[in-house]
Amino acid sequence: MSDKNLVLSAYGLKKERTAMMKEIQCADFSQANRELFLDDAKSRLGMTLCAGSYWVQGVFDAGSYDVNAIAGKYTAIAHRVRLELGQNHAYRNVSAYPFEAVSLIAGGSADGHHNTSPNRNQILIGNDVWIGCDVLILSGVRIGDGAVIGADAVVTKDVPPYAVVVGNPARIVKYRFDEDTIKKLLDIRWWDWEPAAIEEARGYMQDPRAFVDRFWKQPAPLPVTEWTKRIAKLQSGGKTVYYMRADFGSTDAVWMRFLCRFIERFGAGDEAALCLETPPMAECPHDYAVLACLIEQMGSRAPALLTHESRAAFSECVFPYVGVFLTTKEAVSLEGVRLAEADGVRVRYALDAPPFLWPMKEEHLPLPRDVWNATMEKCIMWRREKLLEMVLKGRYDEAMAAIWNIAATLYEYNQFYVDDVTEAALRALSLLLPASEKPVPQGRHERRILFYDAFGLDTRGLAQIYLRALAPLADALCYIAPIHAQGKMPSLEAAVHAAGGELQYLPLGPNAATYQSLCSVIDAFAPTHSFLYTKPWDVTGLLAFMRLEGRSVRYQINLTDHAFWLGQNAFDYSLEFRDFGASLSRDFRRIPEGRLRLQPFYPFVEEGVPFQGFPFAREAGDFVIFSGGQLTKTMDEQLTYYRIVAQILLDFPQVKFWYAGVGDGRYLASLAQQFPGRVVHTGERHDLLAILEHVDMYLSTCPVGGGLMTQYAALAGKPPYILDYNDYHYGFLLDEANLGIHFTQYDAFMAEIHRYIGDADYRQKKDAAFAAHKNLLTAKEFAANLKQIVETGQSNYPIHFYDVTPNIRGQERVFLANYKKAHPFHQPD
């Protein structure tokens, strides 16, 4: 079978991202299986031509890497035969135009997938089939053993065994033999014999009745095995049983892609079960690791799933209890199809589109979110599946980089808060990645505290306050930071050295070598308590902490409690700084309450940092408003934050506005043009407290407020006003609900701002009342609570859980709008 004559279809932009059309010539009559691959790397299997079969010449036209065709043994395919796979359009929609596919291809996101319309993606051609010249066979068709397809036929539906079909569309004109002969030939299955046995029997083949009389034997009764009983129990309990031979170890395995889609569609209470026939575990450790980790990650939510180790491809005795038999890209699928059809079992390809695999939920209702969302999440699904393939094939560095990239995307996208497939891939890597095994020291009485800091930023106060609170608790202290921070964090270095601790700078990139290096350092230190202060996508640190399970008490510092992060299984306790984050972790990250502890924080102030001055000339009568943080926090579709600032500048000519922070500053630049000399944008400053003590007012970012900036403002005695129309900015200050600074309605917020700026007496009273409240935790209180958690596992502060659903749905709309602006799918020219 030749791959040389590759013809790109009319969709063609890039070879690897378009429909794949291959010209086929394979008439070598080999007794070996021959495989056609759709990519140059020979990782995407398109077709298998089994022993003795040949294809004189034709075209294999594939709509995606999901498609597949199998031609059984001793099948003859003539000239100019064309297989069309995965090319259907959604003609039941208002338009049959493939808008989604064109957008994906134009945007470079298709990755070999353009059949975004519902498609059946496999063609199965049985054994001893003859296909005449100029035949067209469409996706989803199964041609039974012994069938004959007449020249010029267009085959759109299944062809029964030994049927003769002709025409457009192809229709049955007769059968080659009577019903009894057909049944017995299907029992005999001469094509499975050794070539010598076939040669010996050829003398009988000219007389079908003599052949049947000579070779047919009554099939033996099927045994009842424990495996049969388990599947029968599922079926009798009302579950639809999906049954497949898991293609562990295959070049282009489909089992894990199907499993990902199955567990996304079905849960523990649904009336569906998956039963997998698998090779022995010792032969496929990577596959078993991924399978076990996917199921373990789902926990009690997992749908019913049974496995059975067997060297036999299928257990014939289970088919009477199966609802759907699933084929793969392996040629042995044809044997399963024979057994399934004998018992009237529905046959589907494991990578068929969902509407062909199972009942769709609310399929006639409008999408709950727009088509852009559906397209985006389809791309994420493809990336997850490629990730699992990397793990299966032992490509660990690629898998770690893929996890890093997926998690970074999900953090920015922020439409959900845990990703089971990526977490399962992390679990599998933690089992498969080589690392030295060091036994847990017994009878340890000293407290050895590890602090892992993936940022290495001297200006971020959270690491400082934890380090200062942990130092008195530690008999030994080890601080790990990324190598790029070496020499750039003098305050943290001084704090570590003052505590008598050791400081390790390590490369922390996503690859196996850095993981092993990190594990070696951690093993050498042998921590009893380990603190994880990391980024949402830090695969290396997360894997190292997963490896510490049972060897050290692990604490995650949840610093981005509103957003997606990776590492659900990398800690024993999540230290939450407010009720909102704890509630989100429990209800949307599925972290049990028993693993959540409240640890409010306070603003770290570096002593001796003087005010470095205004970035503009401050004149008598100026009213300076300060704001700051990452500029992503100021972005929503309505540009609400910039409307607020513009309105203030219009209404109060004495106002000068100063923003300190990094990110997309184009809207600030626009304001600066509109109000010359009154809007200034600077980078981050180290003298934040001093700044807030020298300005007249602090304005929080909107729609996402900054926790640390809010606390700095409170420490400086400035009420941190915020318009929080999603109502989730609570928890950064004590008794925040009674401070009169938190607003959810634009008009009420602007009325308060106007009064605060315009009425000096009101402002003085407001500042005094705000300062009279206890707004912040003290360093002593923070340290005492952290000590309580380390020593007893309990916090002094109870968590008040509440339903955060309305709050996070609002923030998701903001994140989605920002993501769509930053990452538009291309539309056709």
Point out the least confidently predicted range of 96-100, 303-307, 531-535: 96-100
pLDDT confidence band for 356 (50 / 70 / 90)? very high
737-765 pLDDT per residue, tens: 788 999 999 999 999 999 999 999 999 99
Location of each CATH 2.160.10.10 domain in the chain? 6-176
Structure tokens at 645: 């600032």
Higher pLDDT, 354 or 545: 545
At residue 13, the pLDDT reads 29
DSSP 170-203: TEEEEESS-HHHHHHHHHH-GGGS-HHHHHHHGG
At residue 825, the pLDDT reads 59
Distance between CA 578 and CA 571 in Å, rounded?
18
pLDDT confidence band for 118 (50 / 70 / 90)? confident
Torsion of Cα atoms, 685 then 687 then 691 then 693, to 10° = 160
Give the active site residues.
Answer: 89
Distance between CA 121 and CA 673 in Å, rounded?
56
pLDDT confidence band for 114 (50 / 70 / 90)? low
Span 824-829, average pLDDT: 49
160-218 pLDDT per residue, tens: 999 999 999 999 999 999 999 999 999 999 999 999 999 999 999 999 999 999 999 99
Higher pLDDT, 108 or 423: 423
Distance between CA 569 and CA 711 in Å, rounded?
31
At residue 608, the pLDDT reads 80
Distance between CA 641 and CA 701 in Å, rounded?
7
For 567, residues 6+ apart whose C-beta sits below 8 A from its C-beta are: 423, 426, 532, 534, 538, 542, 545, 546, 556
Three-state DSSP class for residue 59: strand
678 contacts 656 by C-beta, under 8 angstroms? yes
In the block, residue with structure tokens 């640190």: 541
682 pLDDT more than 70: yes
Span 130-157, average pLDDT: 98
CATH fold, domain 6-176, is UDP N-Acetylglucosamine Acyltransferase; domain 1 (2.160.10)
At residue 821, the pLDDT reads 83
The residue ranges of DSSP E strands in 567-696, in sequence order, are 573-576, 596-598, 623-628, 655-660, 679-682
What are the start-end ranges of the H helices in 281-370? 285-298, 333-342, 354-357
Q: Using a pLDDT cut of 90, give the percent of the chain over it.
A: 75
12 pLDDT more than 80: no
Location of each CATH 3.40.50.2000 domain in the chain? 226-357, 443-598, 623-776
The residue ranges of DSSP E strands in 350-501, in sequence order, are 448-453, 476-482
Higher pLDDT, 115 or 19: 115
CB burial readout 498-509, b (16+ within 10 A) else e? ebebebbbbebb
448 pLDDT more than 90: yes
CATH fold, domain 443-598, is Rossmann fold (3.40.50)
pLDDT confidence band for 824 (50 / 70 / 90)? confident
653-664 pLDDT per residue, tens: 999 999 999 999
Q: Burial, 459: exposed, middle or buried (Cβ in 10 Å; 0-12, 13-18, 19+)?
A: middle
pLDDT confidence band for 6 (50 / 70 / 90)? very low
Higher pLDDT, 641 or 774: 641
At residue 705, the pLDDT reads 86
80-94 pLDDT per residue, tens: 999 999 888 888 888
SS (H, E, C) 578-614: CHHHHHHHHHHCCCCHHHEEECCCCCCCCCCCCCCCC
Q: Burial, 155: exposed, middle or buried (Cβ in 10 Å; 0-12, 13-18, 19+)?
A: buried
The residue ranges of DSSP E strands in 438-475, in sequence order, are 448-453
For domain 226-357, the CATH class is: alpha beta
For 677, residues 6+ apart whose C-beta sits below 8 A from its C-beta are: 616, 656
Residue 169: count of CB within 10 angstroms of its CB: 12
CB hemisphere CA count around 399 (13 angstroms)? 28
429 contacts 518 by C-beta, under 8 angstroms? no
Helix axis angle, 805-822 to 396-413, nearest 10°: 110
At residue 707, the pLDDT reads 83
Among residues 216, 208, 278, 198, the alpha carbon closest in space to that of 246 is found at 278
Task: Report the CATH number of the 623-776 domain.
Answer: 3.40.50.2000
Q: What is the mean pLDDT of the chain?
A: 90
